[in-house]
């Protein structure tokens, strides 16, 4: 009688006449982490500066491209897309592949410009040197932008403003 089971130790299967034992190992915990919510841009979210479209934080690149194509934005009017991915990362995408700059080369030259601009301050230069630039001709990612203030502004804000000034023309 040591194998005696109570009725509460059993559960019905999908076949109503088959009963099987309930074990604690069959109970599964939901350990999945919630997916980061994808932001779908609207016309009010996107800022246009000449040839540049700036999307809000955390918009995925494919959502930005889809938005421009869905609202029928001409590639002659918008050449570049700028997205702030995180607090320390910017993403530049070339929307018009026929016109404009080689994005990766352009952003690397901007980094060199900052190093020369702040050459008197070795601390700022070392911070700027830690910035990583990845990409190719049609896109560029500026990563590892330190959360520091330069001339009273966050460095990421200064870089964003300079990119807008340069690419909006």
pLDDT score for 85: 85
The first and second tokens of residue 34, run together, are 């919630």
The whole-model pTM stands at: 0.70
Cβ atoms < 10 Å from Cβ of 155: 20
pLDDT at position 31: 46
- The answer to whether residues 161 and 74 touch, using CB atoms and an 8 Å cutoff, is no
pLDDT at 8: 52
Q: What pLDDT is attached to residue 5?
A: 52
At 102 the pLDDT is 81
Question: What average pLDDT values come out for the chain (169 residues) when binned by 10 residues?
Answer: 52 47 46 56 85 90 90 89 88 88 82 90 90 86 89 89 85
* 94 close to 103: Cβ distance less than 8 angstroms: yes
Question: Alpha carbon 31 to chain centroid distance?
Answer: 25
């Amino acid at each position: 009688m040591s194998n005696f089971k109570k009725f509460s130790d059993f559960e019905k299967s999908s076949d109503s006449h088959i009963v099987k034992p309930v074990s604690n190992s069959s109970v599964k915990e939901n350990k999945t982490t919630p997916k980061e919510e994808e932001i779908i841009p609207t016309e009010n979210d996107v800022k246009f500066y000449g040839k540049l479209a700036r999307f809000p934080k955390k918009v995925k690149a494919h959502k930005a491209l889809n938005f421009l194509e869905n609202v029928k934005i001409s590639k002659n009017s918008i050449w570049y897309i700028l997205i702030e991915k995180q607090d320390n990362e910017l993403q530049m995408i070339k929307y018009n592949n026929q016109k404009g700059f080689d994005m990766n080369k352009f952003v690397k030259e901007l980094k060199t410009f900052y190093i020369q601009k702040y050459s008197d301050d070795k601390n700022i230069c070392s911070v700027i040197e830690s910035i990583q630039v990845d990409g190719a001709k049609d896109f560029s990612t500026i990563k590892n932008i330190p959360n520091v203030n330069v001339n009273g502004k966050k460095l990421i804000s200064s870089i964003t403003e300079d990119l807008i000034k340069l690419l909006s023309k």
